[in-house]
């Protein structure tokens, strides 16, 4: 960590590190696929983890999702039963945003909608302590847009996990023009040392690092399929066995959700105006039809409910 000189002009020792307050209490707003995964990651680490959802039905769904994921991990010998039990003991759920008042950091993981996220950030800023960090799991929305409507833009950052969060090791930390270096350093240490994640830092640009590279590739695969000359299975097999990818692009589209891909593509196109970022017509039609991938049972492939 880089530190400046003190008032006398003397430089601190090379091994000096300014104290960074620990992050022990986490709030996760949104218990969907990403939110429940992020909450599970935090709970597995033994952190006091509170999940906020819109109503009791959504709370029940989020709770069951996390429990099922933990039980599956135990059955596959990915984690010991003691870790599952610790995680379940560390979790709590609420429908009241006011319960975030004692959290050291909150991570917003609601749908990829600017209006929804702005609403959540206004509520978090209102109820949380002035020194609490506000993070967003957005994959495309500018961090400065979210930070600027709060009273603490220096403590707002992007903390972008990847699906499924308990398995994927990467977290993108996104620093906006308003985010302080201390905030980034603090969350970086937390993600690496507490959550066991691999961190990359990036600027506040649409798509950050991964999606700016990934989404145009996925859109090209959709265009190729739409031409009708190559099957979805052959496109996926080509990238798996020809390029060593763990799954093909259309299978990945179904996993991510076609509505999410469309939303990210729209943001990329709006910012950079490159035709390779424009959502293909087939993607628009599939989203309109509700064929969103695994979460609806049908996308480029069909899935059991």
Cβ-based neighbour number of residue 234 at 10 Å: 12
> Of residues 172, 176, 262, 277, which has the active-site annotation?
172
Q: Decide if 145 contacts 114 (C-beta within 8 A).
A: yes
> Of residues 90, 137, 160, 277, which has the active-site annotation?
160
Rounded to an integer, what is the distance from CA 292 to the centroid of its chain? 19
Q: Decide if 103 contacts 26 (C-beta within 8 A).
A: yes
User: What letters, b where the CB count within 10 A reaches 16 and e where it falls short, cover 247-275?
Assistant: ebbbbbbbbbbbbbbbbbbbbbbeeeeee
Q: Which two tokens stand for residue 236?
A: 């996926």
Distance CA 233, CA 164 (A): 22
Q: Decide if 24 contacts 47 (C-beta within 8 A).
A: yes
Q: Decide if 292 contacts 257 (C-beta within 8 A).
A: yes
Distance CA 46, CA 25 (A): 10
> Of residues 36, 139, 176, 277, which has the active-site annotation?
139
Give all strands of the β-sheet with 170-175 in edge-to-edge order: 91-94, 48-52, 25-29, 105-108, 133-136, 156-161, 170-175, 198-203
Q: Is 160 marked active-site?
A: yes
Q: Which two tokens stand for residue 48?
A: 């006091």
Q: What is the DSSP string of 148-187?
A: TTSS-GGGEEEEEE-SSTTT--EEEEEE-TT--HHHHHHH
Alpha-helical (H) ranges within 45-171 are 56-75, 81-90, 114-127, 143-147
Q: Decide if 178 contacts 153 (C-beta within 8 A).
A: yes
The residues annotated with a catalytic role in the active site are 139, 160, 172, 211
């Amino acid at each position: 960590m880089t530190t400046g000189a003190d008032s006398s002009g003397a430089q601190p020792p090379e091994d000096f590190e300014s104290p960074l307050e620990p992050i022990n209490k986490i709030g996760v707003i949104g218990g969907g696929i990403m939110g429940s995964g992020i909450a599970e990651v935090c709970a597995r680490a033994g952190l006091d983890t509170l999940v906020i959802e819109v109503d009791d039905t959504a709370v029940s769904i989020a709770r069951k999702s996390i429990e099922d994921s933990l039980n599956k991990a135990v059955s596959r010998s990915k984690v010991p039963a003691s870790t599952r039990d610790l995680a379940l003991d560390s979790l709590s759920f609420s429908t009241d945003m006011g319960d975030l008042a004692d959290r050291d950091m909150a991570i917003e993981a609601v749908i990829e909608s600017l209006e929804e996220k702005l609403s959540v950030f206004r509520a978090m800023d209102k109820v949380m302590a002035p020194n609490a960090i506000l993070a967003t799991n957005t994959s495309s929305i500018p961090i400065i847009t979210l930070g600027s409507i709060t009273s603490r833009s220096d403590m707002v950052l992007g903390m972008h996990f990847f699906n499924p969060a308990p398995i994927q090791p990467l977290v993108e930390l996104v620093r906006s023009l308003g985010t302080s270096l201390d905030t980034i350093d603090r969350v970086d240490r937390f993600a690496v040392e507490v959550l066991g994640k691999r961190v990359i830092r990036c600027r506040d640009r649409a798509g950050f690092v991964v999606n700016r590279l990934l989404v145009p590739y996925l859109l090209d695969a959709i265009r190729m399929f739409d031409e009708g000359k190559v099957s979805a299975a052959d496109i996926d097999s080509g990238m798996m066995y020809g390029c060593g990818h763990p799954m093909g692009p259309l299978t990945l589209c179904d996993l991510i959700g076609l509505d999410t891909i469309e939303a990210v593509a729209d943001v990329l196109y709006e910012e950079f105006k490159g035709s390779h970022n424009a959502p293909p017509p087939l993607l628009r039609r599939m989203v309109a039809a509700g064929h969103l991938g695994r979460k609806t049972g049908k996308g480029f492939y069909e899935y059991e409910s």
